[in-house]
Structure 1
Amino acid sequence: MFIDADECGLSKDNCAENTATCTNTEGSFTCICNDGYSGDGLTCQDVDECTVDTDNCAENTATCTNTVGSFTCICNDGYYGDGMTCQGLFELHVDECASNTDNCAENTATCTNTVGSFTCICNDGYYGDGMTCQVILIDVDECAADTDNCVENTATCTNTVGSFTCICNDGYSGDGMNCQDTDECASSTDNCAENTATCNNTVGSFTCSCNDGYSGDGMTCEDVDECAVDTDNCAEKTATCTNTVGSFKCICNDGYSGDGMTCQGLIELRLIFFLMDVDVTIEVLNQWFLTFFRPAPPFKNYRAPAPPSTSYCKECNKDNEGERNVDECASSTDNCAENTATCTNTVGSFTCICNDGYYGDGMTCQDDVA
């Protein structure tokens, strides 16, 4: 007795896997491609139902999309349904124009509702695709024709379709028809270097100038070392220039006295007395120097005493009354500071000078801790 073998059930067929169906027959089997596929059953390829027009999507109102072994139907915009049957949104009373969900050019185009959609048409006097419409009529450029009313020189005219706008230029404020200068310095809207530059307002703008003692473009200012660039006015050779932030100072050298711009020395003073036919000792000369030519003494241990008598002469050795000169230092009738000052006799008087390490007027001397 002959028993038929089921090749399909025993998976001994050679049908295309997943894309074909095996059917057992007496003594054999058959292979048939599944729906959505074509071939001899042993080899099956996907059929594009959308291309060969074998789909059942709603015509004109749905879109067919091929898938592996099948296809899908989706209703177009403005329609709803399962893809095989699609109905227009108008049936749901959706009016894109009335609901303002259209994208027609505002004011220059007209929206017209259609079944499931809408159309945009440019209005008379305009052209375009309805979403963008431009004026057909020739626009008059008021700015070019100089028929605008923008304020001259201080505002900018910009032509628009059928009109124009006026905007005040930088450095001015107003409505464009009237523009006033903006004081950037007063309103602190300038970019001048803070503390080291001066802002000067100009018509429509401003300028920045570095202050004396500084150099730069006004936005950035750096300290000028007047001493190094030799722009100071300190006394040459007899004073020392010291740079400071934004300026400098002049100090007379040791042995000289003055304001730093003019410095005089002891030798110069002796020459003055010589020309005046006055004979004085170096000690008296030094006291005069300290008293009249310098606010602070040239040496730390000196302080200006009262000026000495001016009634000295070359020929006499007597006081103002013609009497014999008294040595106040030797007779201890001076008032010099005891132990801390030295008394020096002069014709008709005496001088007191603080010793090294002390300073004062000679009558009172204090320890120079500096």
Structure 2
Amino acid sequence: MRTPTNYTCWANSKCQNTNGSYTCVCENGYSAVGKTCMDVDECSLQVTDPNITNCHPDAICSNTDGSYNCNCKDGFTGDGTVCEDIDECVQKGITMWTYDTSKCIITNGSYRCSCHRGYRNVDGCIDIDECRENLHNCDRLATCINKNGSFDCNCSDGYSGNGTHCIDINECSGEHDCHGAATCLNTPGSYTCQCSDGFTSVGERLGRNCADVNECNGTSPLCDGRTELCRNTIGSYQCSCKNGLVKDSSQTCIDIDECLDQNRCTGNNSRCVNTFGSFSCLCKSGYILDTSGRCIKANFISLQVEFKTIQGLKSDGDLIDRQNLEIYRADMESDIHAVFNGTGGYKSLTISSMKYIPARNHIFIHVNLEVTVGTNYSSLEIVFRQGLDENNVLPPDNVVDPASLYFGELLIDPCADGNHNCTNNAECIFLGQSGHFNCTCRDGWTGDGVAQCKDENECLTSACGSREVCINREGDFLCECNLEEGYARVSEDCIASQVFTTNFSIQEIDGTPAVFNKLLESTVSTEFVSLNTTLCKLIFFNTLEGTNYADSYAMCKVRRFKLPNLTAEVALIFERTPSIAPDELENTLNRRLTDHDYILDNGFSNITLRSENITLDEPECRNNNTCPRNQLCINSECVCDRRTGFVETDEDGCQVSKILKVTFAIVEINSQEAIFNDSLTDRTSNFFMSLQNLVCDLWSITVNNFDGRKWKDDYISCRVLRFFKGSIGETWIWYLMRIQRPTAHK
């Protein structure tokens, strides 16, 4: 019997006895292929059968002949069947980037370095410039400042906030360095200082130092150089009349006729010749001034001639001053004297009169030639004609109308000598024959020129436009925009406007308590015009400039100054579009005045207002059509039409009354002679109203003392229609008044 050892099996197999035989079985790790045991690659098979090996998922399987090995992967430690991750971040010797810019992050079997926020991996962690790459959230009004790993947002100068949200700082609402005569204007992120009108900025920084502008030194004349003198004031200027001139009601400088003073020139044979701004004392016709200054009798021949041009100025041109021909007298006397100088019998000459002749557009000149006794005037005429060139030019630059030339015996010109009976506001016209003249009322006056020349009321002929009201003045008229109808003058036109009326109570002017001045009663007085201009300028600069109302602001006008103390009733005028709400404008005025402590001061003048609320009144009416029946629109209020006999009732209605008109003269007031004052022509003046109250109080007492009549209970009202000068008692104050009572009594 054979033993098992005598039987041979394949390599890598072992013999296994069977019943009656044996078999060869491959050892573990091998697989039979025919009669050969081939190595089994367990590592490849574990792909489909993970349980074929016991290697750890983080281990690497390595096949061996008949078996396999498990080795932990890099970054892991263990026997291959168990592998644990190695924490490289805590092991020494691991190469890391700078901890300030990065951090170590453990991964499965390894690690990685991650840059901190604000850094980028470019062969190491480098700072990201968020500002340059626009990776920030700073406000557009802020500045981005880069720093390591991050950035800062700082609001720009003139703005406040956290950098991601910035708002403008209104420097003008707090402290700023604008000059007292400058206006602070807030701008995005800053502010500017703008010197007010009448001031100029000095230095590099605009509006920080404002100096007064001397407007009088400017190249463009602000005042009428012919009639006015310019006087510089702080922040403005004033135009005052030159000597010999005075302002009329329209604030135009007109000549003072000094010759109205009959004692202006002394001596029976002298006469006063008014000149623009002055006067001259000349001898009457037939007399000449001797060395002692007296007018003595002399031998004269008259020369009358008309000129088309004098002193190079055409008589119908725009350059000649036809209203003030006296300014050419001396030069014309010199030019005419040059023609006769050296002629036998001729001594001297004087111009007796110079006048403009509108019908021929010529300048008429009457010359008295002093000659020796026996001198023939025809010889002088020949000399004069020979002195003209072929173009009738009297050297050097005077053109004669030869047809007008007259030489003859001395003509007595009553107009030049002042020996005429023309009334005031009339012009004496010499008729060319001795002693003959006519009196003609000047423009704006009407009458016969002798008995009277009374003011012509141009307003009766509708001399103004449909949007204007006509204001008659002595000798002329004025057209003003109709504020009551809602029109105001902007540039040269009357435009539809919103008109608001309010009162400003003035406490001080230039640190001095403000008091009412009677000169402020007249709206054309220098005091009224000056304070009106200053107050309106200051109201705009301190309350409206810089607000939403500035662009639609048209003008400001003081309607009147009144008591108590000194109160200005002011009309603030705005363009109608956009429409302005009165309450919003009131709030703005009050807020701005409170901000300024009620002191209006822009360097022009210092005006302190009382701390009281400003309220605005819109007109109740604009014309008679907007009032109820039997009422008129007067000063923007609907009142009963007293012209037709209607008076107010207790129920705010109107009832018919009886009107009695009477005229009386006031001889004395408070035991003093009553003197007519021009302010009495203004119904709104304090003098008019106080005198009216005095008169009506007197009538009320008189009516109450009537016997046997029911005037006491039925008397309604009294009103003075006008005060005027009468023909008797030139200086007395005359008045026309009306008394109203119910129509039931006669």
Same fold (TM over 0.5): no
Q: TM-score, normalised by structure 1?
A: 0.37
Which of the pair is proportionally richer in helix? 2
Which of the pair is proportionally richer in strand? 2
Q: TM-score, normalised by structure 2?
A: 0.20
